């Protein structure tokens, strides 16, 4: 399946993840006319294409996709190699392009934005086609190195009173005051 931007515009495809829902056209080598229509929402993807004269509409929930992948696309004809961000599905006919560009300037930011907006894991496609996660996770939570303690290495360190770090338990006086032989005043009701 060849994935390109809208017909006549080469491979470039730049969708904004924060303006969903969106409707756009993408190339599909198996469809009649080599094009399919894609409707993308935060919860659902609807693909429309004609195959041998028969119109098809396929609706897929976002939860059925494996994740948001970053791939390199080889040169195709006169088009240079490109970097693509795609919504990956185990069925190759349901893979949805989200961002395709010849320059890789915004790719990492777009990849993370699409993963965050759709609530999907970030995946990288290996040369053999296998998908892997580049960052370790527990569920939807990304796992990383723990942050350093705030008090010691923070830019705010100079603003915090250091006396709070040096508090000690109180010490009894060397010679406590003892009053003997005096009459004690006690409040009685």
Write down all domains in the chain, each with its CATH number in brackets: 13-136 (2.30.29)
Least confident segment among 9-23, 48-62, 68-82, 125-139: 125-139
Q: Is the dihedral angle over the CA atoms 92, 79, 103, 99 positive or is it negative?
A: negative
Question: If you average pLDDT over each of 57-61, 82-86, 121-125, which comes out highest?
Answer: 57-61
Contact status, residue 120 vs residue 69, Cβ threshold 8 Å: no
Q: Which pLDDT score is estimated for 70?
A: 87
Confidence band of 162 (pLDDT split at 50, 70, 90):
low
Has residue 159 got a pLDDT over 60? yes
Q: How far apart are CA 88 and CA 86, in angstroms?
A: 6
Has residue 142 got a pLDDT over 50? yes
Q: How far apart are CA 187 and CA 114, in angstroms?
A: 73
Confidence band of 87 (pLDDT split at 50, 70, 90):
very high
For residues 173-189, average pLDDT: 73
The set of residues, in sequence order, having a beta carbon less than 8 Å from that of 135 and lying 6+ positions away, is 122, 142, 143, 144
Q: Which pLDDT score is estimated for 137?
A: 62
For residues 155-159, average pLDDT: 64
Has residue 110 got a pLDDT over 70? yes
Mean pLDDT for the chain? Answer: 79
For residues 123-137, average pLDDT: 76
Has residue 183 got a pLDDT over 60? yes
Task: Name which residue leads in pLDDT, 18 or 157.
Answer: 18
Q: Which pLDDT score is estimated for 64?
A: 92
Note the pLDDT tens digit of each residue in 9-48: 456 788 888 888 999 988 887 888 888 899 999 899 999 9
Reduce the DSSP state of residue 164 to 3 states and report it: helix
């Amino acid at each position: 399946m060849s994935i390109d931007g809208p017909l006549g515009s080469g491979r470039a495809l730049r969708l904004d993840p924060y303006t969903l829902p969106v409707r756009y056209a993408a190339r599909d080598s198996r469809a009649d006319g080599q094009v399919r229509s894609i409707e993308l929402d935060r919860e659902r993807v609807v693909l429309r294409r004609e195959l041998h004269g028969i119109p098809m509409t396929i609706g897929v929930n976002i939860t059925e996709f494996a994740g948001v992948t970053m791939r390199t696309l080889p040169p195709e004809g006169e088009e240079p190699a490109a970097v693509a961000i795609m919504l990956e599905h185990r069925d190759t006919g349901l893979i949805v392009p989200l961002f395709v560009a010849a320059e890789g300037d915004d790719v990492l930011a777009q990849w993370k934005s699409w993963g965050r907006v759709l609530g999907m894991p970030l995946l990288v496609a290996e040369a053999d086609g296998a998908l892997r996660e580049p960052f370790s996770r527990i569920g939807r939570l990304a796992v990383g190195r723990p942050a350093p303690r705030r008090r010691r290495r923070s830019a705010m360190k100079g603003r915090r009173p250091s006396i709070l770090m040096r508090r000690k338990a109180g010490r009894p006086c060397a010679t406590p005051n003892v009053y003997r032989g005096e009459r004690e005043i006690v409040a009685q009701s």
